[in-house]
Amino acid sequence: MKYTPDVLVIDLEMPGVDGLSAVEIIRRSRPEQVILMLTRHARPGVLRRALKLGVRGFVSKSAHPTLIAEVIEALHAGKRWIDPDISALAVVDDSPLTDRELDVLRETLEGLSVSEIAARLHLVEGTVRNYLSNAMQKTQTNNRREAARYARAREWL
């Protein structure tokens, strides 16, 4: 990484790469990097993934610039900051799906085949099929695309 910011501010949705994938790449080379993620889609599943990746702050893009500056200062001081509305949604999230089932459904939404999903997530195809089958059972849908749309409609993705 050419620059070493005290707090890296990253968008969840960027052209070419999603913010969570970018965070994974950044954390591999700089595991200590403090990251604030901005989003306009504050889904509980996204929050959970971001936190697991080590994101320290999670704020809506529509937040007032003064608040964003205060959050950056808090993160720089070693604190964590999660938008209260997003946090509340995550607490009441009623998704029956596991994180891995959500991962394969997320890739399904991108139009990837089972073999492409397996390669991207470093899984064998049979494991991907099992996750998709479980997700379809839990969502009572007929195929993986329906299951993915069902999960997205309930803001699990």
Q: Specify the pLDDT at position 42.
A: 62
pLDDT level of residue 125 (50, 70, 90 thresholds): very high
3 closest CA partner among 25, 41, 33, 24: 33
Domains of the chain: 7-91 (3.40.50.2300), 99-153 (1.10.10.10)
In whole angstroms, give the CA distance from residue 113 to residue 118. 9
Mean pLDDT of the chain: 88
Consecutive H or E run containing 38: strand 34-39
What is the pTM for the complete model shown?
A: 0.61
Residue 147, both tokens: 């299951």
Q: Specify the pLDDT at position 31.
A: 93
pLDDT by residue (tens digit) across 15-60?
Answer: 777 788 899 999 999 999 999 999 876 666 778 788 889 999 999 8
